[in-house]
Amino acid sequence: MQVFVAGGTGVLGRASLRALIAAGHCVRSTARGQEKAELVRSLGAEPVAVDLYDAEAMRRAIAGSDAVLRLTTKFGPMAKLRDPRTWTETMRLRTSSAHLLVDAAIAEGVPLYLHESVSFVYADGGASWLSEEARTDDGGTALLHATLEGEREAGRFTKQGGRGIVLRFGGFYAADAPSTLETITLMRRRLMPQIGAAANYFSAIYVPDAGRAVVAALDIPAGIYNVVDDTPVPFAEYLQILARAIGVGKPLRLPAILGKWMFGDVWKFLSRSLRVSNARLKDVSNWKPDVKSVTEGWPLVAAELHLADRKRHLVGMF
């Protein structure tokens, strides 16, 4: 299959390129600048320099593709989560750029459009499992409003006769994810506290498993699918698992009232209980997560980072 990836150099994009190439697909990916172009080539794909907000350029770039995948995201550092400017470009990519990409795909007769989304769009579900039919809620936040607006682009594509797919991912973590490295640094500095009881469920996904889900989605019916691991855990447990994996003490505990002050609008959905189910995607494809839970995932990431540090140390000795 000829696959065009918008956002192939991001965290999910890199994992998806690896999985797509391993599956035998011919892949082209956006890449801004020489360094990112070399990264795309190193992963086995062809780099394409294109303005994601230029309609005609996008049509030329995706011409002849069997599938167009929008995996574009641009987040700032976790320390700036409460600053609305952190999310500005991501919101544009999820809405304006997605709209142009769908227009281009429709005009070029591309059969499949895949849209990256997040499971944070679900309303608080308590201890209940959340399927794709569960109620969504933007929580009055611009970020989730844009996220749900962007999802509708996949629906528009389907209405025009194509196969539009939305993948709602859980929280990413992996040894090569900047947010993971930042999370570990904050935890080691005792700056990743447990706020309140933290009894809310948190759904996560190990990034290589997310990349394989993207490949599996090339062969499934149009619709919305959750991409999370098998065993979401309460956030207090999530933090404890992470702390044990990297060998630090239990997280500090702070009053729940400080959540909004520390995280701003992000707290409106970060504090939700989201016990998200991946049953639909497993039912319609051969995908299932290799890493079933953060209980095994965070120790795996810690081991990968330890091995990488040892290799760098050995290289430095010679």
Q: Domain boundaries in the chain? A: 2-174+205-231+275-291
For position 79, what pLDDT does the model report?
Answer: 61
Successive 10-residue mean pLDDT values, the chain, 318 residues:
96 97 98 95 96 95 97 71 70 92 97 98 98 96 94 98 98 95 93 95 98 98 98 97 95 92 88 98 98 98 85 57
For position 315, what pLDDT does the model report?
Answer: 56
Q: How much of the chain exceeds pLDDT 90, in percent? A: 85
Give yes or no for a contact between 289 and 209, defined as CB atoms under 8 angstroms apart.
yes
Dihedral of the alpha carbons of 127, 131, 136, 141, in degrees to the nearest 10: 70
Cα–Cα dist 209/260, whole Å: 32
Condensed to tens digits (0 to 9), the pLDDT of residues 74-105 reads 766 556 566 666 668 888 889 999 999 999 99
Per CATH, the number for 2-174+205-231+275-291 is: 3.40.50.720
Average pLDDT, the chain: 93
Cα–Cα dist 188/248, whole Å: 6
